[in-house]
Structure 1
């Protein structure tokens, strides 16, 4: 069968087309466009004919979006392991339940507007909605290149309908809320919250802290590794600035010593113990599981009755409490492991009214 030419974006492209009969004897046309050369088009035509004869050919008009985006993500090579894991979660929890049942070619602007509204109604963070939106949009851009759809519905969305990433929300507890939470329960893993509030360490840093990195004599913690999303200890941190030493108070040292005594007892009574030298671990010594920890975190919030925030907001709580007693931003930057003082100031400038007031008063006194 001949291969046909047509013009695409000012360049010559090629397509094939041929007729077949389905099981009921009804004629249908199979057509595929977008080939750069005749040889490529001819090879694709032969492959499609073979698929049709074997019964494995899939009509583009019958492709369901769930099947398309799942296969598209599986074949995507330019993302790392963590991003793939996050994207798969977005597919499972948000994209497939709302759009998955629709034929790829039938999804239109109305579906997309409703989808965005549904994500917003779920109370998801602006940044999360933007990432989900970008994932779906990228999958449609790919389907355009493969000529599975004629027009991309994303091109029809008004600017006002598109989600905005916005500035990440910074929430934190007051001094009284923090005290109420810490005094509201006892648990073998309470040390996680003590470290988060008193040091501003990230969850992955706390979960991977080793006893060898706790310097009781000099009252220091050395942060050198993290617990990855899949429960594996990684000899790395989020950024170069994340490699740091953190000074801790006598209160934190006392809690660490108490926690270490408990770990030693668990080792003695365990039938089998996997010693990874971890401060935070399961009773058998294995690393804690992040997904299980989230449920534990919610249970403690419900038990104490303290206002609900994200666990990551304990890091912001640490910064807020430090600024409330006029600790210098440079010290907070080093404690939290920000890559620059600009990140600290951009994130927490609204928490420093007292420091600004003191500075203005000091200048006023100086120039009297």
Structure 2
């Protein structure tokens, strides 16, 4: 089983090639390039021969793009179940209907341009279009590395044809709106809204918060667990910077104490109580259901007659309140759990006109002192 050498980017690389006969007796050559060592090429050749004998060998020239991207995604290990579910949805709803029938090696830049236009014609959010674009682009990069295709069609894409990126719309309540809401809201989930507004925690972090994560003596909340739609309660949060401690106001501590008293009474009254030590939970102790969360939030807004915003916008509301109080962006970054201060500044720069005005006044005062 000879292995052949060739030069790639100035370095020695290896490929295998062997002949077989198909069911009609016609000869064909099975070949694959791109191996960095002889042993790697020899092992791959042996595997290819075995697959051919089993009848499971697939000629790269015959693979459709739909077959390839589905297999690529199925074998991808560095994504969460939630991301995998979302990506599979993009495949079935948008990508495969447009490109799935085209042979992998025949997908051209024109096909990519048509896909982008089709996605935009569906009036999908800019962020969704960009995610689909990035998913396919990454898939083609892998195909090039594996030498299943010679050229990545994305490399030929005109800059003006790439999907635009725009900042997501950020909405938030004013100080007066927050006061109105807190005056109107009551019930077992009042604590959820109190924590969202005062701490800026993400939804999954709020629903995964445990009593043991709260230090009532130091008024600190430690973020170390999250509730996910498909994974349930998991140790860990969105990013490494998500592991953090938040110091909360006395108002929040008092609300937590009242809520804990209610939870303890429910625990004693419920015969089949499941104790997950959760702060925000159902009457029987189980985690709050995520399937109806958005619908329930809309009902809260209708009941309180508040201006409609997303639940996630309570996180933005927290940031807005902090910036209006001239809290330093670094502190806001740490409280929200952003991975970098750049994210905080890029997201909330429009909320900091007062800080810019204060900086101008300070500079003016400094220079006047020298004049």
Counterpart in 1 of 2:92? 96
Q: Distance in 2 between matches of 1:54 and 1:151?
A: 31
- Are residues 254 and 15 of structure 1, via their aligned partners in 2, closer, same or farther at CA, if it must alter by over 3 Å? same
Quote the residue 1:32 is aligned against: 31
Question: Equivalents in 2 of 1:365, 1:40: separation in Å?
Answer: 69
Which residue does 1:196 correspond to in 2? 196
The 8 Å contact of residues 94 and 119 in structure 1, kept in 2 or not, is answered as no
Looking at structure 2, the residues matched to 52 and 153 of structure 1 have their Cα atoms a distance apart, in angstroms, of 30
Most deviating of 113-122 and 300-309: 300-309
For the structure 1 residues 300 and 92, does the alpha-carbon distance in structure 2 shift closer, same or farther, using more than 3 Å as the test?
farther
1:88: how far off? 1.0
- Listed one character per residue, the Cα deviations across residues 17-64 of structure 1 (whole Å, up to 9, x for unaligned) are 425233xx3736343220546776566555444433433232323324
Change (3 A) 1:108 1:99: farther
Q: What do residues 259-310 of structure 1 show as CA deviations (whole Å, max 9, x unaligned)?
A: 3233223212323222232211233223335555345445545666655544
The residue correspondences of 1:301-316 to structure 2 (distance < 5 A) are 301=301, 308-316=308-316
Contact 1:116 1:163 in 2 (8 A): yes
Residues 116 and 342 (structure 1), Cα distance of their counterparts in 2 relative to 1, 3 Å cut: closer
The structure-2 alpha-carbon separation of the partners of 1:177 and 1:116, relative to structure 1 and needing over 3 Å to count, comes to farther
| Aligned 8 A contact 1:329 1:341 in 2 | yes
Query: CA RMSD of the aligned region, Å?
Result: 3.9
Aligned mates of 1:14, 1:331 — CA distance in 2: 55
Indicate conservation of the 8 Å contact 1:226/1:237, yes or no.
no
CA distances 1:66-85 after superposition (whole Å, capped 9, x unpaired)? 432333234345x2xxx332
Contact 2:94 2:119 survives alignment (8 Å): no
Deviations 1:174-230 (Å, cap 9, x if unpaired)?
345545655666553232222111222233332233334445566x23224221532
Q: Which residue of 1 aligns with 2:348?
A: 348
1:85 aligns with 2:81: yes
Instruction: Quote the Cα distance in structure 2 between the aligned partners of 1:69 and 1:124.
Output: 23
User: Which TM-score applies when normalising by structure 2?
Assistant: 0.76
For residues 87 and 284 of structure 2, the distance between their equivalents in structure 1, rounded to whole angstroms, comes to 34
Q: What is the correspondence of 1:255-270 to structure 2 with a 5 Å cutoff?
A: 255-270=255-270
Taking the aligned partners of 1:213 and 1:41, their CA distance within structure 2 comes to 53
CA shift in 2, pair 1:6/1:344, >3 Å: closer
Residue 167 of structure 1 and its aligned partner are, at CA, apart by 5.2
Number of the residue aligned with 2:317: 317
Query: Distance between the aligned counterparts of 1:334 and 1:40, measured in 2?
Result: 47
C-alpha contact 1:237 1:243 (8 A) present in aligned 2: no
Residues 205 and 223 in structure 1, CA contact (< 8 A), matched pair in contact too: no
Following the alignment from structure 2 to structure 1, what is the Cα–Cα distance between the partners of residues 292 and 177? 24
Q: For residue 247 of structure 2, give the secondary structure of its aligned residue in structure 1.
A: strand
Whether the aligned pair in 2 keeps the contact of 1:16 and 1:42 (CA below 8 Å) is: no
In structure 2, the residue matched to 1:162 is 162
Task: Specify the alignment match of 1:246 in structure 2.
Answer: 247
SS at match of 2:15: strand
1:115 counterpart residue number: 115
Partner of 2:21: 20
For 1:338 and 1:145, the matched residues in 2 are separated by 33
- In the alignment, what sits opposite 1:232? 233
How many residue pairs get aligned? The number is: 359
**Equivalence map 1:55-94=2 (5 Å):** 55-77=55-77, 79=78, 83-94=79-90
**Partner of 1:232: helix, strand, or coil?**
strand
Matches within 5 A, 1:130-169: 130-163=130-163
For structure 1, the residue ranges without an aligned partner over 5 or more in a row are none
Alpha-carbon distance in structure 1 between the residues aligned to 2:299 and 2:118: 27
